[in-house]
Amino acid sequence: MAKSWTLFGPGLEKPRPNLTVAAVAIVFAAQTFVPGEDAYPTYMCFLAWISAAVITWFAYKKRAILGLLTLPVSLLWLNPILGGNWFDAVGLEYLLTHSALALVWAGCAYTFLATEKY
C-alpha cells in the first residue's frame, strides 16, 4: 500500500536536522542583509534551483507536501536571470523572496529531511 501524503512527511522519534539544507537556508537568510550594489550573483540563483530540485525529489520520495513548495519558491530566482529588477536593491520583493526561501528550506531541514538520532 502506498504511503499517504502528509504536510511534514514521516515523523521521527528523535529527529536530527539536515545540516546541509539548514546551511543553505542560513546563506539565503544572510543574503537578505547584503546590499545589492552590483548585479545579483548568478551562483545564488543556481544554488536556489539545485537545492530546490534535491529537496523536491526527497519530498516526493517521502510524500511531504512542505517540500513541494520549494519548486515554486525557487522559480522566483528566474527574475534576475531574465533581466528583472527584484534583486537590484534591498526592497520588499528582495526581503520577502529571501525570507520565504530561508523559511521553507529550514522547515524542510527540520521535518522530512531530518534523520533519526541514535
Give the integer Cα–Cα distance in Å for 113 and 107. Answer: 9
Total Cβ atoms within 10 A of residue 98: 24
Q: What is the pTM of this model?
A: 0.87
Q: Tell me the domain boundaries of the chain.
A: 15-116
- Taking only the tens place, the pLDDT of each residue in 77-107 is 999 899 888 888 778 888 899 999 999 999 9
Residues whose CB is less than 8 angstroms from the CB of residue 75 and which lie 6 or more positions away in sequence, other chains included: none
- Taking only the tens place, the pLDDT of each residue in 20-60 is 999 999 999 998 887 667 778 899 999 999 999 999 999 99
CB 105 within 8 A of CB 3: no
Whether residue 64 has pLDDT greater than 60: yes
